[in-house]
């Protein structure tokens, strides 16, 4: 892998690189990647969830080939194209009635969330936005401006942004206490300096991803939804990472029993191609023509790939499959986690799983260095996974939705070996000195 990785470092800017080990990929199929050294590497990241059906899935590959063979232009900027219309119609059929109005298509979750942030302020005339600490809504200036992840602490925030804590049941030691603390914080804000009529929207992640794969307490988002309805605040659900079957339900927000006003899709929607979508009420989505557009928005090849993704999820029963294999993995990891001294907590839904590493289980001190060493060692052993979290100590598992139980077993065995090697001091910290990760 050294040659391709070295060539990249001599030719490509590192501004858009988030690296954990010297990974250089030349191909892939299903749940496996192929390195330029010929190694077959099991992929428990799926490119941060973007390769939702795995690599080189025949349905996506076929859709791309057909669309490129008779290409209906390159965008929907100045002409309609059938793949974009079909995709919009399909997405409208999948969301709750409350958000069933119009669809906007973009390139990534970043440009979609930035567009939503601008749109809700412009459409409502309200100048403030609520979001969670630890949240990551994208990498453009506008999406970073409404994010609360500590890795973005140097980024200029939206002037009307209000950040509130996302409930962390493990850190609090009690889900009810974690939930109550956030709700109390909100009520305090609104009884003080923040006026409800100033707030346009509340950006939420039904499961917080980059903040540490935090699963909210039961009933928490029902209370948030009531709060928003009471104050006329739009509920914006960021489903970019964990939507579309990832959590064992079609939408991650379904676990909480809520109906958002606006839903944002990305990553896995394109099956590995750059595509995002906003779905929301017509008065909001159509409040101003030519409000947010780029030349390649509504690209028919990307839209065709997305249609293939949605059709495959339905045809192959991947919602149920994600739930079943995810439950199998959670049970196995929770059982074996007791044997791995660095593991403090195992949590998740479906094929979105987090393993929090701690120095010891009493103090729950984040094991940041050990986490970086674990993903590096796992890569050496043949597994790709990354880490997330406000404290950079949560292993994130988002494998392809097509992952088999035997592949799950293979990956879990590698995780176990990596954790044991790190705990035994067999992995040098020098290995990760050049890889900042999160």
DSSP 162-187: EEEPPP-HHHHS-HHHHHHHHHHHHH
The length of the chain is 438
> Residue 420: exposed, middle, or buried by beta-carbon count in 10 A (0-12, 13-18, 19+)?
middle
Handedness of CA 221, 257, 354, 52 (dihedral sign): negative
Is position 386 annotated as part of the catalytic site? no
Say how far apart CA 52 and CA 398 lie, in whole Å: 9
Query: Beta-carbon neighbour count of residue 13 at 10 Å?
Result: 6
DSSP letter at 269 equals G
Two tokens, residue 426: 């067999």
Helix segments in 258-317, DSSP class H: 282-285, 300-315
Using alpha carbons, select from 151, 152, 184 the residue that is nearest to residue 167.
184
DSSP letter at 151 equals G
Q: Which parts of 50-206 are beta strand (E)?
A: 102-106, 128-132, 161-164, 199-204
The percent of the chain in helix, strand and coil, each rounded to the nearest 5, is 40, 15, 40
H/E run at residue 42:
strand 40-43
Catalytic: which of 32, 136, 170, 387? 136
Query: Beta-carbon neighbour count of residue 127 at 10 Å?
Result: 12
Asked if 149 and 211 touch (Cβ cutoff 8 Å), the reply is yes
Say how far apart CA 268 and CA 313 lie, in whole Å: 11
H/E run at residue 84:
helix 82-94
The 3 state secondary structure assigned to 193-227 is CCCHHHEEEEEECCCECCCCCECCCCCHHHHHHHH
Say how far apart CA 93 and CA 258 lie, in whole Å: 17
Give the residue numbers marked as catalytic. 136
């Amino acid at each position: 892998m050294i040659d391709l990785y070295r060539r990249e470092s001599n030719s490509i800017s590192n501004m858009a690189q988030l690296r954990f080990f010297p990974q250089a990929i030349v191909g892939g199929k299903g749940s496996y990647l192929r390195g330029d050294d010929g190694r077959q590497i099991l992929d428990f990241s799926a490119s941060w969830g973007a390769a939702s059906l795995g690599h080189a899935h025949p349905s996506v590959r076929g859709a791309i080939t057909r669309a490129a063979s008779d290409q209906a232009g390159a965008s929907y900027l100045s002409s309609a194209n059938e793949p974009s219309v079909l995709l919009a119609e399909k997405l409208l059929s999948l969301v709750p009635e409350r958000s069933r109005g119009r669809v906007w298509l973009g390139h990534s979750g970043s440009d979609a969330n930035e567009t939503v942030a601008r749109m809700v302020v412009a459409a409502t005339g309200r100048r403030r936005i609520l979001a969670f600490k630890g949240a990551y809504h994208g990498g453009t200036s506008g999406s970073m401006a409404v994010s609360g992840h500590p890795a973005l602490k140097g980024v200029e925030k939206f002037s009307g942004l209000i950040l509130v804590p996302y409930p962390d049941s493990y850190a609090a030691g009690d889900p009810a206490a974690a939930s109550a603390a956030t709700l109390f914080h909100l009520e305090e804000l609104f009884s003080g300096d923040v006026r409800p009529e100033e707030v346009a929207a509340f950006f939420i992640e039904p499961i917080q991803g980059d903040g540490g794969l935090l699963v909210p307490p039961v009933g928490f988002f029902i209370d948030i939804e009531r709060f928003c309805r009471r104050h006329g605040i739009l509920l914006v659900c960021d489903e970019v990472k964990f939507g579309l079957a990832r959590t064992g339900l079609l939408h991650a927000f379904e676990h909480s029993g809520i109906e958002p006003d606006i839903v944002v899709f990305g990553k896995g929607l394109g099956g590995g191609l750059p595509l995002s979508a906003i779905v929301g009420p017509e008065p909001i989505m159509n409040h101003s023509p030519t409000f947010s557009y780029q030349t390649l928005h509504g690209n028919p090849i990307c839209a065709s790939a997305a249609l293939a993704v949605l059709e495959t999820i339905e045809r192959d029963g991947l919602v149920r499959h994600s739930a079943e294999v995810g439950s199998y993995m959670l049970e196995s990891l929770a059982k074996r986690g007791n044997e791995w001294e660095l593991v403090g907590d195992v949590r998740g839904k479906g094929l979105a799983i987090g393993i929090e590493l701690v120095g010891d289980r009493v103090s729950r001190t984040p094991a940041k260095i050990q986490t970086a060493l674990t993903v590096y060692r796992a890569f050496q052993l043949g597994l790709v996974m990354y880490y997330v979290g406000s404290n950079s100590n949560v292993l994130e598992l988002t494998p392809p939705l097509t992952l088999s139980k035997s592949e799950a077993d293979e990956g879990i065995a590698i995780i176990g070996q990596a954790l044991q090697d790190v705990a035994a001091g067999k992995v040098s910290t020098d290995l990760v000195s050049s890889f900042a990760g999160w």
